[in-house]
Amino acid sequence: MNILDKIIADKHKELVLKKLVIPISQLEQAALFERETISLAEELKTSKTGIIAEHKRRSPSKSVINQDLNVEDVARGYEDAGISGMSVLTDGKYFGGSLDDLLYARAAVKMPLLRKEFIIDEYQLLEAKAHGADVILLIAAVLEREQIKSLSEFAKSIGLEVLLEVHNEEELQKSIMPSLDMLGVNNRNLKTFEVSIEISKTLSEKIPEDFVKVSESGISSVKAIKDLQQYGYKGFLIGENFMKTNNPGKAAVEFVRELSTSP
């Protein structure tokens, strides 16, 4: 069993418990549930940088990244840097995140927020909406086509945008459908955790123009973004590059400045 299989197995167990503790009706009555969401896809289409910056405390591949930072401070720092959107990891066991992180980020900023989670059930979409998310992530590697269809359509029905993540052409082909807003190519092999942005380049021409293209993982330089922009990418998910510093917001400011001034 690889790490992804373990995470999904644990997610099934976690959801059984969550549904016993917090009924759907409680999520639907949350103050943020009726909030009008902000479009990350539209933001990326017009953004000069296209950066989606992440809040991530740790990961299975890197262990501890940064456990000391306050999520509201990170969110404000990113927004002040002119970031297009923020990705908030909500998995607890493997990434040290929580839905509270999403809630605190939402209270701190107005920019689009992505709930980054291993989503396998509509209940998690209701959680995302109730905690202030604008966008949810679906991972093709852990979902069948019918699941992608039903989850993405349900997300749209409650006002959430959908970023679908693929790792190879097979996943891409099974996933293309009208209920998606953005197609993300993860440059990290989820089984080996090796990273290469060549995956984004290879898959770029196979992604229909209807979708906003996002490149995820392993983007740590302005050169990488400039390179990927030539392949039609509008969004760039950057996680550890900012989070491994003492001040992610400041690191983001410097990165955006360099990106804006480079030829």
> Which pLDDT score is estimated for 190?
67
Q: Which CATH superfamily is domain 3-261 in?
A: Aldolase class I (3.20.20.70)
The span from the CA of 113 to the CA of 77, in Å, is: 14
What DSSP element (H or E) covers 116?
strand 113-116
User: What is the full per-residue pLDDT of the chain (263 aa) written as tens digits?
Assistant: 788 899 999 999 999 999 999 999 999 999 999 999 999 999 999 998 999 999 988 887 667 666 778 899 999 999 999 999 999 999 999 999 999 999 999 999 999 999 999 999 999 999 999 999 999 999 999 999 999 999 999 999 999 999 999 999 999 999 999 999 999 999 987 667 788 999 999 999 999 999 999 999 989 899 999 999 999 999 999 988 899 899 999 999 999 999 998 87
**149, amino acid identity:** K
> Which pLDDT score is estimated for 227?
95
> Which pLDDT score is estimated for 263?
78
Quote the pTM value. Answer: 0.95
Terminal-to-terminal C-alpha distance of the chain:
46
Instruction: Report, as residue numbers or ranges, the catalytic residues.
Output: 54, 56, 116, 165, 186, 216-217
3-class SS at 165? strand
Please name every residue paired with 162 in a beta bridge, in sequence order, or none if there are none: 136
> Which pLDDT score is estimated for 171?
97
> Which pLDDT score is estimated for 120?
98
| In the chain, domain spans | 3-261
